[in-house]
Structure 1
Amino acid sequence: MNILRMYRSKKYLRRLVLSFSVLVLMLLVVFSGTLYFNAEKIILTMQREANTKVLSQIKFNMTYLNDVIQRLAMSLYYDNDIIPLMTASEDSDIFDTLTKRSRIDKFADYTPFIHSIMIYNAKTDRFIWGGDPAVQERDAPIYGALRALFKGTGPLPKLQMVPMSLSGDRSRADVFSIFKYDAFEYRQGESVFVLNIRPQWLFDNMKVMNQLAWQENENVFILADDGRILSSDPVAPPMDEAFKKAMLTHVHRQPAADTGSFNYSLGSKPKIVNYLNTGINGWTLISIQSYETLVSKADSLKTTSIVLTAVFLLLALLATLGISHRLYRPLGKLVSFVRQDSDDEAGPKPPDGDELSYMTGIYQETRNRLLLARSEQLTSRHIVRSYSIRTIITDGAALTRKDLIELIQAQKLRMDAEGPYLLCVMKLDEPDGASGREDDPDRRLLRFAIANIAQELLARTYAIETVELKHDHVAALIGMPDASAAALDRIRQEIAGIQAIIATMYRATFSAALSDGIPEYRLLHGHYAACLQQLRYTLAFGRQAVITPSMIRDNLSSAEAALPPELEKKLIESMKSNQDEGFEKTLDTIFAFIASLNYEYMVYMVLHVLIVMRQAIKEINASRIVSLPGERGDINRKIMDCATLADMKLMLLDVYRGMNESKRSPEEERSEILVDAIKDIIVQNHADANLGLQMIADMMKLSPDYIGRLFKKQAGLSVAEYINDARLRQAVHYLEHGDYTINDLIERIGFGTRSNFFRLFKNKYGTTPKEYRIKRNLLE
């Protein structure tokens, strides 16, 4: 019980024991199974080879016997005693015939494998025989079978062994008959020499050869092409038709192959069938052997394998226990040590008692505590470090040199207290000009990426510290021993490379402001304020700009606050004359002027240009029949939201292009007004039966032909067609919302005749007015 309790409480030890045991068991089973199956395969292969050798020897004996018998038959056929018997007539000397017959009889008796000799005389239609007494009776069944062959229409084999029965049972092969005649093919009325061979000699030879085999076959017999089985004991071989069919199928399937084998079940017992083509009369030698008999040899090997496997398994289990305990001993000591010194918070023992899971829990809990403590330490250190850098940049004038040195040493800052420095302030560009939320996670990630990439790349050459500041700014304090123009240009190129990396990796852009060389730390706060001022000029220089003090020096000194009058005049004239190229060139000149102004006047000046454009559109509308449409959307707000002057210029170009798209020629506008007036006259006077082109022309004081052509061109249909269409629409309205009779309705809409109204209504709506009203009422 103590052993079971120990294994129940130590799950990992149980796994070790089970794993080793299962592994050993699998190896033993695989090796034993492989040995058994390979042994069985080898035994079957050896037996097939032995059977093939036996059948080949029998085939050789049969071929030799067949050759001897053929030579003997030829010799007897041409014997001087045989020829007269085959050609003698009725009046032949009877004594001479008996003498010759006696010689034949003695020859057959003295030759052990000859059963009998028969001579068929076609002239007398009689048989002369000699040999075994079974053929000495005239009414013996064999004579009837021979006459049937001689007088039949089928071919008579020549010098081939033909199985014949002495009892009339065609399934038996009591003798093998060899026929010899003169013609190439037998013809009725021709005499035949018949030599009957005892089959027992052949079958005994087959039996003796089978007994000499490595494993004796159950049956060896001959299968003819017609499915007959030739054997000394016809009961022993399988006689079912299924076997014959299977055997013939295998033989005929591979006619080029002389030998082969296959498995076949006779009853409920599997058999191995080997066959060999003898090349004699289409005969095939068949041997049948029990599959179980062969496999029994492998079964003994299997029994031995099972016993050995069981013994080795028992020994392996004992060895596994020892090995598992030795492997578990260090882990067990470690688990016991941890359990003694661990508390509940360090990781409770898992309910399944798995020692490794328990140790993993202890390790993870301890690791998490260490990581948390380290993270808190790093966070606190990063906060203090960032605060120190921000203090140096924004309030360095309040620090003494001693305080600065202590701060650098305490926080291990990469900067020299003696200077000189270069300050770079970076800010994310806004896609649409609107300021993003500073606490947005994506923006925090981008600021972090900018600070880290700048720190990584610039630290290869310079002493640098980066820090995130308020209002989405990232500052880089760079130690610059050499503050020459060439060194500042290299820094600018480095910043441009960082911008390209951020644009490629994060699909975002930022602008940067670089200060001049700063000789000492007390001047940092002033240059920081100047960098913030420089960043505002991203409006003029565009996104992803790197702005230096020299680039905005003219802007800061500019006091202009008004647009030159000649530029305003050119802008208005290009709009009125519809000169697209002139307008764009003038707008480019205006925005180049705006880009040179102080930042405080830039947006105001763009709005002033918009006011000038509105005034030009107002003057254009004063001389037009149809006024140009107003601006789409709040243009003022959109301009204020633009991040750069280039975006603002595109906005003003859109206003101009929208004005041009809506412009039409005075002729088109006049035609549109006339057509709208004609439509209004038709709608107001549709009930007047006299309403027509002439009436409308009189009312408008214009030519009917001119009005007709103009209306047809603008509306796509004639005035009369439009009048009918307006009256039909009014008719539908009355049918749906009034109770007027058809006659009243015709009078109200101005149709002159009832038939004309019905015809036009049906052409347009596919039904009569009455049917239309009934259908609408049913639907409602």
Structure 2
Amino acid sequence: MKRKVYKFWLYSYLFVLFIPILITLIVLLQSQEMLVKEVRRANDTLLDQVRQLVDNQITDIRRLGTQLSFDPKVMTYLNRETLDTAEARFGTMEMISSLQSYTIANGNITDAYIYLKNKDYGITTTTFMPADNLYSVLHKASGKSFAEWTEWLRASHAGLFVTLNEGAKQTENSLVYVQSLPIQEIKAAPATLVVLLNQDRLKQAISKVGLATESSVYILDGEGHPIMITGPQTGLAELPIPKMSNQRGFLTELVDGNDAAISYVKSDTTNWTYISVLPEQVYSAKVKLLKNLIYIAMLLCIGLGGLSAFWLTRRNYAPIQNMMNFVSTKVKTNMMNMPNEFAVLQSFMTDSAAIQDEASRKLLEQHQVLRNQFLARLLKGRVDMSSALPQAIESFDFRFETDRFAVLLLQIEDYERLFQANQEMDAERKLQFVYLIVTNIFEELLSAGHRSYFTEVDGMIACVVNVLGKEKEAKKELLKVANDAKRFIQDKFFVRFSVGVSDIHTFWSTLPKCYEEAVESLEYKLVLGSNQIISYESIKRPKNDLYYPLDTERQLINLMAAGNYDEAAAVLQRILITNFSEGTLSIQMGKLLMFELVGTMLKAVEQLQLSTKEIMVEKTDLIKQITECETFAEMEEEILDFLKKACDYLQQKKKSHNTDLKSQVVEHVLHNLNDMNISLTSISLAFDINPTYLSRFFKEQTGENLVDFVNKRRVEKVKSLLAETNHAIQDIAEQCGFASSQSLLRVFKKYEGITPGQYRQSWDGREALER
């Protein structure tokens, strides 16, 4: 077995040595092609820079013609009938100054002039002269006669670059730009703009781009005529111009009897073709140098790599042999079934790691469960506060750095929006996922200044905070963390919850007191409403005296008897504000106040002998709804609603007999049951009727409150869908006009006495019995 492993290692090292040698051979074979590609890429890049440089200059010059065409002063001057007046001469000076400023701004312009066709005069950057003088100064050496030059200027030009001395010896000013002025009246233009370009400056700029000094650059216009040539010039006849039909390309052709790399690109701006020609001998020398270097590298790899393979094989096998001596006897007995020592060691370590991982996993699970149970019992005061408590805390890995503690108690209230896309997940998994999100975010925010530990107590998340800072600052910080976490979780995950925050107390034995304070804080949701952060400090000194004098009660009853809802509601609001504004009213006194107000409402109904069926139903509903309210705000809303109905009933006893309107309202409601925005207000707007009158009218006609009518019809539709389909509760809620599954649950339970899920189960049970 030892010989097998030794040979295996030796062959492995030799194989590794063979890889760079093989790669070197491939590099050697591909080097020339790669270098050609690199030359092509470099030429293309540099040629693009040349094209961009020249195109930018050409664009600037064309912009000059456009600016002149739309310059009001220039157009006014060109349309003058005579140039002999003082005003015309002043305009001539302005034209000379404008041309001079344009020319100075662009270093590639040698000169520019405007030829006036009707006057046969020219305006240059320095003077105003007749056409024959202008020709003698600027174009006599161009190869064109004066007549040809004049005819050329009088023709229409849309703005193009031409070489005046094509076929003759090129001079500095052979390349010019010509454009009729103004460009928008090209056929009847009164003048022609001519710009003379400085080709030497352009060639110098091209030479700075970085193309090889041995290469030549050709610039051809759209018809294949040469615009400019730089570098060692070659006749155009040697270039394969017919093959350059694409937008850009690369060719390897014979030029002057030698192979050359030819790159070309066409400009979308000017329709010119830019060509770079680089002789092969420029880059073939680099290929020969690369081949020599590769041969030397291969010899070094074979010599040094072979010696290193033998030495490393002998050196690295020794530790493996030593490790085999520590393997148990039981494993060694199975060595005959193993291919080599590596398989033996792998089998041994795999089995050992699997046993250790399984043991660690079980211990961790048990430890976490026991830790959460211990923390929950500690918060509820069910742990012996003896001297053994510190050892128990340490055994569960609680690292308390100070003796100051506080408790945050989180009660999850709504999380259905988080799972709208995954309604099939069961409720328990949803809640676990929500707990994970909330605890992770709170732990992250608290970790900046405190230590925190979480557990579940009575369906709520309890967070024990070991306060590290000063007590006064820590209280503000805990409230800030709670607010930040609540806002982030609600915005990002649509989870609504309330938080009770205890005071900060000293030593472990006060943790039950912290928990009780957090629980008591959460109870004040009844006063403040859901989705709140309530600190014990803000509610620990509640008021226990109630303001509700007898004369105020009598005033409220009298206002109800008069049907004066506005004043009655104002009295009711004043009672509530007086009791809740100055300090925090205790829970017990708050409940007492609300039921006193309900008693007043019912007493008024009895005294006024409003014993009709409708009012009796409203009385029963008021008592039921008040007992189902979760906050004082909801109780206030129900009381005000009953007050409104009673006052409206007293003001409008006479029933309307407009049966057509009743039928239209009923039809409108039934047609729009799936609209979650349907309400008394929306219906009144649809029929252009006062909401109060519509509510009273509908109840007089049907004996039923409009809101109850809508909710009952929606519940009937829900019952039908629950019985006939397997749709999720959330989907049924949306189909029947409920804003959420919680709204459906509350309304369904109100009228049917059971939840939608229980109704579906009972329906399925009835069908099963019938079958």
Query: TM-score interval w.r.t. the shorter chain?
Result: 0.3 to 0.5
Larger Rg: 1
TM-score with structure 1 length normalisation? 0.39
TM-score by length of structure 2 reads: 0.39
